[in-house]
């Protein structure tokens, strides 16, 4: 199957393909944060959730149950191209919910 597909693809392109030149890029990006969320003690996260739960209950006394969470994640990505570009990316993501 793969050989058949390869032969079909080879005959489909009758024009010479030329790639345009690209600039080589070396860069680094990091999410700007005032406080590193990964360094916050779990006890402080719990205090924030409990305070939010209390405030929610005061604003909506008919609600009998709530659920909350704080989710923090660091994503590290590295792009290296055959042309020579090298790009590093470090992103910090924080999501909090209360319902």
pLDDT grade, residue 12 (50/70/90)?
low
Whole-angstrom distance, CA of residue 23 vs CA of residue 35:
35
Q: Where are the domains of the chain?
A: 21-98
**pTM to 2 decimals?**
0.59
The answer to whether the beta carbons of residues 94 and 72 sit under 8 Å apart is: yes
Summarize pLDDT for 21-79 with one digit per residue, the tens: 999 999 999 999 999 888 999 999 999 999 999 999 899 989 888 899 999 999 999 99
The answer to whether the beta carbons of residues 74 and 92 sit under 8 Å apart is: yes
Q: From start to end of the chain, where are the E strands?
A: 26-30, 68-80, 86-98
């Amino acid at each position: 199957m793969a050989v058949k597909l390869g032969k079909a693809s080879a005959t489909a392109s009758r024009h010479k393909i030329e790639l345009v030149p690209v600039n080589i890029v070396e860069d680094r990006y990091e999410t700007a944060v005032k406080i590193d969320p990964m360094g916050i003690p779990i006890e402080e996260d719990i205090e924030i959730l409990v305070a939010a739960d209390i405030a929610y209950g005061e604003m909506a006394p008919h609600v009998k149950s709530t659920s909350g969470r704080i989710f923090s994640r660091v994503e590290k990505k590295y792009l290296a191209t055959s042309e020579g570009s090298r790009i590093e990316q470090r992103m910090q993501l924080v999501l909090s919910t209360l319902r």
